[in-house]
Structure 1
C-alpha cells in the first residue's frame, strides 16, 4: 500500500501544475534546504505564491532600462503565438574594449519557472550589486528571460501549438523557434547557455528501490557529444567552462553531474548521459562553433520548493560562465577560429558508448543516498557509424525557398548564382524511403538511403550555394545531409520518394 501511495503521488506531480510538490519536508530539509544568499529582488521572489507573470516581467525589465539606460537596452524580437512580444535584454558597458559575446536564455520550456527567474535575478545582480560590476567590462551579454511566454503563463512545457521548442531547433516550425534562432544568429555569440529545470521525480524512478527514488543533483550540465562539433570546442567547454562552474557550485555545497535521463530498452531502465541531437539547443548552438551548454536545475514539479536554491545554483553557473568568458576571451576566440577551419568528414550517424556504471540517487523511503549499477548510454563516448567526406559546398535549387529560408535563420551565409553555371557535383539519388506511421512533433518523419552519383550539371541563375568554409558550416551539414537524423529530409520538410534525385547537391573539392 505504501508503495502504491508513493507512485500515485509521483503520477499526480505530472498533472497538477499549481504549486503542489511531491517532495517530503524530510528530503527538502536534509538535501535541498533553501538558499539564504538570494535576495527578494525579482517579481516571483516578492510574493508567496505563483511565479512572474508577463506584466510583471515587462515592468521589471522596463525598470532596469530606466535605472541603467547607459548599459541596458530592451528590444522585442518577435511575437509568441498568442501575440505577446518576446523581450531581449542586452547589457553592454560602453568602455571601448573588445568584447566577448554571451547569449543566455530561460523559459524555453514553460513549466521550468526558476530558469526564467534566474535570468531576472542575474540581470538584477549584475546591475545592482557592485561586487559584480567588473564582470561586464569585457562582456556583451544578451538575455531572453522568457522564451516560451505562452507555455510559461500556463505552466506548460510546450508552446501554444503543442510543439516542444527544444525539439524544434533545426526544423524551425514554431514561430517562437524562428524568432529566437534569428535573434541568436544576429547576435552571433561566442558562448551560449540555455537554462532549464529537470523533473527529479520520474515514473521510471518510481519503479526503482523499495519505494522509489529521486534524482539527487542540484544541477546537471549538458554539453554536446555530437561528433560534428569540433573536438577542441567540446574539450574547452568541459575542461574550462563546465569545470569552473562545477567548482563554483562546490563552494556552496551544491551537487552536480553531467546530464542524465532515463530510457527503457527492452523493458530495462537505462541511463542516457549527454546529448548528440541537433534538434535541441546544446548541440545546435555548438554546431555553430559556439561554446555551448544547457543547464538543467532540479525543479520541475516542485512548485516553489527550494525555489531560491534553484535560482541561486543557476545564478552561480551563469556568473561562472561570464567570468570564464571574460578571463579567457582571446582563448575562446582563437579556438573558434581553429574550429571553423576544420575539414573533418561529416558524421551522419553515431552510436553512444555503452557501459555499466554506478549511478547515485536519493531513496525516498530511507532518505539516504543509494547507488545502483545501471547501463549507461553515453553521448560523450559516441563513435561514428556513418561518415561522408566534407564537400566544398552544398548547392540548393532556387525553388527550395523554405529550406533556404531556414538555413538563413540558422545563421548560414548563402550565395546566389548571378548567372547559369555548370559544376561537377554529387547527386543524392533516393534508394529507399521509410515513413514512420506516427508523427513526431507534428512532423511525418522519413528515413532514407541514398546513392551518390557524380555528374556535371548546369544550375540556373538564383541557385543557392552554401560554402563550407564558414563558421556555421557544421549545422548546414546536419540539416542538408539526408540520412542525418535531424535533416530537412528526415523531418519530412523535404519529402521524397524512391528513385527521385534530391534538389540538394554536393560540390566536390
Structure 2
C-alpha cells in the first residue's frame, strides 16, 4: 500500500508539470508502444528542429513559401486577429477546373497546448501540394485549413486563449473574439465536411487509481463524432459507417491503435468513461448541427512534449488523407444526404440522456508494461435517448431589444428576418417555472438551469421583431441555442439572463 501511495504521489507530481518538465512517459513505454514513424519527412518548421514547435513567424514564412511555389493551387488570407493582435491565417486549396467540388474545412491548434495538431495541418498542406500521389485530391475538393486557430494560446503552450476561455467550450456562447472570427469564416465557406484536429492527455490524475499501479491511455487516435439527436440520423450514420470506418481501417494498416473518443468523469465517487458527445458548445457537434459531416480527432500527445512527435503527425495525416479520399469518392452521396437532411423537420430534442453500460477499453498497465483490456462503465452519447422533445416550430420570434442574441445567431450562420409591420400571431411562449443559477463561474459565465411552462397565446408583435425561420441549413443549431432547457443554450450559458417566473423574450411560431 505504501509503495502504491508513493507511486501515485510521484505520478501526480510529474503529471502536474504538463509542459514536458519532466515528461511523465518513460522511454520504455515509448519504445514498446509508441515508436516514431520515420516515414514522416522533416518538411515543416518544427520537424526541422530538435526542440520546440513552429512559432508564428515560422508559420507565416512556411505558408508564404507554399503560396509562392504553388500560386495556382493555394490562396492565403487572414480571417481576423487574435486578442493579442496576431493575424489568423487561413489557406484555401483547389485545382482550378470545372469539376464538381466538395468543400472540406479543417482546423488545428484550437487548444494552444496541442502543438501536434498545428504541425499536422502544415504537414498535410506540404504533402498535398508536393507529393504527386495526393495532387488529384484537389481536382475534386475545395479545402480550407486554419492551421493555428488559437495563436495566443499556442505561442505560450497554453490550452486557453488570451482571455482565459477554452475555444472548444465557446461554440454557442461566442464570448472569445477568435470564436467569432472562426465562425464567420466557417459560415462564409459553408463546408459539407468539417474536421477539427486535437491532442489529448494520456496521463490523468484519475488514471493513478486504475490498474495495479496506474495506467496510461493506449490509443494513438480517438474519433469524436456527434450523438446529438438533433443532428439528422442519416448524417450521423454516414459519418460513422463511411468516414470514420475508412479512417480506422487506414490506421489499422499502419499499426496505430484507435477508439471512439472517451474521457473520464466522476459520478458519485466512481470514475466513468464518457463516450462521444452531444454538446453543441464544442466543434464536433456544433459543426454537425449545420448538417455537415463532422468529426473531431484526439491524438495522444498532451503533456509528453515532443515524444512520438512523428507518430502523432502521421496519425493525423493518415486520418486527414482518408477523409479527403472518402470525400472524393462519394461527392454525390454526401451532397444528396445533406440535401435530405436539410429537408427534414423532426421534433426538436431539447434534452437527452446517455446509455450507461459496462464495456472494456485498452489501456497500458504501467507496472506490468502491458497492453490490457480494462472493464469500465461507459456513458455513451452515441446511444442517446430523448428526454424533453417539442414540436419543431416554423420559426422563432425574438424581441427586437435582444440584439446580442441576434448577432450571435448570425455568427452561427442563421438567416434572420424582421417583421415589417405590427402583427398578431399565435405563438408558444416560455415562462420560467424552476430556476437555479450557479454561483461559481464556468468559462466566465454563471450557468443557469431552468424549467419552463410552454403556453400558447396570441401576441401582437411590433414592427422590427426578429424572425428566425427554420427552413435553413443550421436550423438544428438554432434549436440548441434557443430552447432554454438545452444544456448549451443562450439561457443555460447565461448569455440571456433570466429569473424565476420571468417570461422569456423568445417565442415559438408553429403555424
Fold match by TM threshold 0.5:
yes
Report the equivalent of 1:504. Answer: 506
* Alpha-carbon distance, 1:16 to partner: 4.1
Report the equivalent of 2:379. Answer: 377
Aligned residues of 1:91 and 1:142 also touching (Cα < 8 A): yes
Tell me, in whole angstroms, the C-alpha distance in 1 between the residues paired with 2:124 and 2:464: 46
Aligned residues of 1:10 and 1:22 also touching (Cα < 8 A): no
Report the equivalent of 1:307. Answer: 309
Report the equivalent of 1:291. Answer: 293
Is 2:247 aligned against 1:245?
yes
Tell me, in whole angstroms, the C-alpha distance in 1 between the residues paired with 2:449 and 2:473: 28
Report the equivalent of 2:198. Answer: 196
Structure 2 unaligned spans of 5+:
none
Equivalent positions of 1:97-116 (< 5 A) are 97-116=99-118
Aligned residues of 2:11 and 2:208 also touching (Cα < 8 A): no
Q: 1:119 aligns with which of 109, 118, 121?
A: 121
Tell me, in whole angstroms, the C-alpha distance in 2 between the residues paired with 1:314 and 1:2: 38
* Alpha-carbon distance, 1:420 to partner: 2.0
Report the equivalent of 1:142. Answer: 144
1:32-59 CA distance string (max 9 Å, x none): 1000110000000000000000010011
| TM-score, L = length of structure 1 | 0.98
Give secondary structure in 1 for the equivalent of 2:136. Answer: helix
1:47-81 CA distance string (max 9 Å, x none): 00000000100110111111111111111111111
Report the equivalent of 1:63. Answer: 65
Tell me, in whole angstroms, the C-alpha distance in 2 between the residues paired with 1:253 and 1:410: 39
Note closer, same or farther for the CA distance 1:7–1:315 as it changes in structure 2 (3 Å cut). farther
Report the equivalent of 2:265. Answer: 263
Equivalent positions of 1:88-99 (< 5 A) are 88-99=90-101
* Alpha-carbon distance, 1:6 to partner: 5.2
Aligned residues of 2:7 and 2:213 also touching (Cα < 8 A): no
Tell me, in whole angstroms, the C-alpha distance in 2 between the residues paired with 1:184 and 1:37: 33
Equivalent positions of 1:413-428 (< 5 A) are 413-428=415-430
Aligned residues of 2:357 and 2:379 also touching (Cα < 8 A): yes
Aligned residues of 1:19 and 1:304 also touching (Cα < 8 A): no
Report the equivalent of 2:185. Answer: 183
Report the equivalent of 2:488. Answer: 486
* Alpha-carbon distance, 1:449 to partner: 1.2
Give secondary structure in 1 for the equivalent of 2:135. Answer: helix
Equivalent positions of 1:7-406 (< 5 A) are 7-18=9-20, 20-406=22-408
Tell me, in whole angstroms, the C-alpha distance in 2 between the residues paired with 1:21 and 1:327: 42
1:6-52 CA distance string (max 9 Å, x none): 54244433334146421111111111100011000000000000000
Give secondary structure in 1 for the equivalent of 2:281. Answer: coil
Report the equivalent of 1:432. Answer: 434
Which shows bigger deviation, 453-462 or 145-154? 453-462
* Alpha-carbon distance, 1:86 to partner: 0.5
Which shows bigger deviation, 283-292 or 443-452? 443-452
Structure 1 unaligned spans of 5+:
none
Tell me, in whole angstroms, the C-alpha distance in 1 between the residues paired with 2:307 and 2:428: 57
Tell me, in whole angstroms, the C-alpha distance in 2 between the residues paired with 1:506 and 1:291: 28
Give secondary structure in 2 for the equivalent of 1:36. Answer: coil
Tell me, in whole angstroms, the C-alpha distance in 2 between the residues paired with 1:177 and 1:211: 41
Note closer, same or farther for the CA distance 1:428–1:369 as it changes in structure 2 (3 Å cut). same
* Alpha-carbon distance, 1:405 to partner: 0.3
Give the number of aligned pairs. Answer: 509
* Alpha-carbon distance, 1:324 to partner: 0.6
* Alpha-carbon distance, 1:258 to partner: 0.4
Aligned residues of 1:195 and 1:295 also touching (Cα < 8 A): yes
Note closer, same or farther for the CA distance 1:349–1:170 as it changes in structure 2 (3 Å cut). same
Tell me, in whole angstroms, the C-alpha distance in 2 between the residues paired with 1:400 and 1:374: 46
Tell me, in whole angstroms, the C-alpha distance in 1 between the residues paired with 2:473 and 2:318: 30
Tell me, in whole angstroms, the C-alpha distance in 1 between the residues paired with 2:75 and 2:105: 15
Note closer, same or farther for the CA distance 1:19–1:101 as it changes in structure 2 (3 Å cut). farther
Aligned residues of 1:212 and 1:363 also touching (Cα < 8 A): yes
Give secondary structure in 2 for the equivalent of 1:494. Answer: coil
Report the equivalent of 2:448. Answer: 446
* Alpha-carbon distance, 1:98 to partner: 1.5
Aligned residues of 2:198 and 2:297 also touching (Cα < 8 A): yes
1:421-456 CA distance string (max 9 Å, x none): 221111111112111111110001111111111122
Note closer, same or farther for the CA distance 1:7–1:308 as it changes in structure 2 (3 Å cut). farther
Tell me, in whole angstroms, the C-alpha distance in 2 between the residues paired with 1:16 and 1:428: 46
| TM-score, L = length of structure 2 | 0.98
Give secondary structure in 1 for the equivalent of 2:328. Answer: helix
Give secondary structure in 2 for the equivalent of 1:350. Answer: strand
1:243-285 CA distance string (max 9 Å, x none): 0000111111101000011111111111111111010001000
Aligned residues of 2:14 and 2:22 also touching (Cα < 8 A): no
